[in-house]
């Protein structure tokens, strides 16, 4: 009897080829489509395709709620952005995919977990680091890191030829070979024509979640987002599940052209790569969440969080989700976010987001203190002593080392 393996299966070019290749290698293949809310995919057709190729089983597991609630929203609370711009939509999903695949491997008695991440990318790191943290004895088959696989498929052209010979339908074509990765948080686009950084991504990509700002309505649209302890809980007054909130904001933000970026990023493995991303819902959430924090969090706490946030983003991007350091950081952010409750109204217009209103029962903003008018618990006379004390080290230094001016 052939050994069984579980393949993290998307139905795209790479994993479609892998179903056939693994069978050629003598494995019984169990395909697992991890349903992350991919907005542009026909799940039934994808699952049937694996069976048509010859997979022993092909099932989907819906983890959209877990993805948003337990992965994306904690990263949102950190305001974590890789290299100050990327909202980590693909990175966030990978440890969850590994977790679900290992669960499926137990069910079918699989000897290995297989993924189709290339040997040049970040996903191989994220899949493997998560899997090994959850099951230190796990066997991982990564075909792109095997000479036998690369010799047979040195590039996408050979993979497309293989699919053509085996009548395997795939979205990628030789004339339009860019790769996309979808989930409810975002869609990423890379490879193909996008490997030339002089090519304008808007001219070659069929975006799936958003219209271009030029095609967005000529009128502003407002949306109000409610939070409890830093967690999004409602849109326009309606309580929704975590996945429901993201889905609704994807629609609202998407039709207003919000959330597209085009970046050159530094991969964990050391090279630079070009990626185009669209994340309309999460872009709205980041803007609203930051605005509410400005109203409710202490200055020193926010500044501490902001110093640590790039490190959290880096850990998520690299794949260090299941580790003691991340556990501790998540405990910190849960406590720090307790006051972040309230509502924020965003005004969206042709790709832009404006904060129009914010309110919270925990607001630290005191109009009487902040006002330029007289009143409130602030006496300008106190600033005299405050500044004399703050300036003491500077006066001492200036007396010892006079500066030229």
Active site residues: 14, 94, 123, 179
194 is in an annotated binding site: no
11 is in an annotated binding site: yes
Q: Which residues neighbour 179 within 8 Å (Cβ) at sequence distance 6 or greater?
A: 12, 13, 172, 189, 190, 191, 192
Q: Which residues neighbour 56 within 8 Å (Cβ) at sequence distance 6 or greater?
A: 4, 28, 29, 30
58 is in an annotated binding site: no
Neighbours of 104 (CB within 10 A): 21
Contact call for residues 192 and 178 (beta carbons, < 8 A): yes
265 is in an annotated binding site: yes
126 is in an annotated binding site: yes
14 is in an annotated binding site: yes
118 is in an annotated binding site: yes
179 is in an annotated binding site: yes
Neighbours of 242 (CB within 10 A): 21
314 is in an annotated binding site: no
For residue 73, the surrounding DSSP H or E stretch is: helix 73-77
Nearest to 90 by CA among 56, 64, 123, 115: 123
286 is in an annotated binding site: no
317 is in an annotated binding site: no
CA distance 340 to 258: 24
175 is in an annotated binding site: no
The CB-based long-range contact list for 109-113 (8 Å cut-off, 24+ gap) reads 109/4, 110/3, 110/4, 110/5, 110/6, 110/30, 111/3, 111/4, 111/5, 111/139, 112/3, 112/5, 112/6, 112/138, 112/139, 112/140, 112/141, 113/5, 113/6, 113/8, 113/138, 113/139, 113/140, 113/141
For residue 385, the surrounding DSSP H or E stretch is: helix 382-400
What 3-state class would DSSP assign to 388?
helix
122 is in an annotated binding site: yes
How many residues are recorded in the chain?
405
Nearest 10 degrees: CA dihedral of 329, 333, 334, 336? 140
CA distance 349 to 218: 8
9 is in an annotated binding site: yes
Residues that constitute the known binding site for L-aspartate: 118, 122-123
**Binding-site sequence positions for ATP:** 8-16, 116
**Which residues line the annotated binding site?**
8-16, 86, 91, 116, 118, 122-123, 126, 179, 188, 265, 277
Q: Which residues participate in the annotated binding site for L-citrulline?
A: 86, 91, 122, 126, 179, 188, 265, 277
């Amino acid at each position: 009897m052939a050994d069984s393996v579980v393949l993290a299966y998307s139905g795209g070019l790479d994993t479609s080829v892998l179903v056939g290749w693994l069978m050629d290698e003598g494995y019984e293949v169990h395909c697992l489509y991890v349903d992350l809310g991919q907005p542009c995919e026909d799940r039934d057709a994808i699952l049937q395709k694996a069976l048509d190729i010859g997979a022993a089983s092909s099932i989907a597991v819906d983890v959209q709620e877990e993805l948003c609630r337990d992965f994306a929203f904690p990263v949102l609370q950190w305001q974590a952005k890789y290299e100050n711009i990327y909202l980590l939509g693909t990175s966030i999903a990978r440890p969850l995919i590994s977790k679900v695949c290992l669960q499926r491997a137990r069910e079918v008695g699989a000897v290995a977990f297989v993924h189709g991440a290339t040997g040049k990318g970040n996903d191989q790191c994220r899949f493997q680091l998560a899997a090994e943290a959850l099951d230190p004895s796990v066997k991982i088959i990564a075909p792109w890191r095997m000479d036998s696989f690369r010799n047979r498929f040195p590039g996408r052209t050979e993979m497309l030829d293989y699919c053509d010979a085996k009548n395997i339908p795939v979205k990628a074509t030789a004339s339009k070979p860019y790769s996309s990765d979808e989930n409810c948080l975002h869609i990423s686009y890379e490879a193909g024509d996008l490997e030339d950084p002089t090519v304008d991504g808007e001219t070659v990509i069929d975006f799936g979640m958003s219209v271009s700002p030029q095609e967005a309505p000529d009128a502003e649209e407002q949306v109000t987002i409610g939070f409890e302890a830093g967690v999004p809980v409602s849109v326009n007054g309606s309580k929704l599940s975590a996945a429901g909130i993201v889905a609704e904001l994807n629609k609202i933000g998407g039709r207003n052209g919000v959330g597209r970026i085009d970046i050159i990023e530094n991969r964990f493995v050391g090279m630079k790569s070009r990626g185009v991303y669209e994340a309309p819902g999460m872009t709205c959430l980041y803007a609203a969440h930051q605005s509410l924090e400005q109203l409710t969090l202490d200055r020193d706490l926010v500044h501490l969080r902001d110093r640590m946030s790039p490190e959290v983003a880096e850990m998520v991007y690299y794949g260090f989700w299941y580790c003691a350091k991340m556990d501790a950081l998540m405990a910190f952010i849960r406590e720090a976010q307790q006051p972040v409750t309230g509502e924020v109204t965003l005004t969206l217009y042709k790709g832009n987001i404006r904060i129009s209103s914010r309110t919270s029962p925990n607001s630290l903003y005191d109009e009487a203190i902040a006002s330029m008018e007289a009143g409130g618990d602030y006496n300008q006379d106190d600033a005299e002593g405050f500044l004399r004390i703050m300036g003491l080290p500077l006066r001492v230094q200036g007396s010892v080392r006079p500066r030229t001016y």
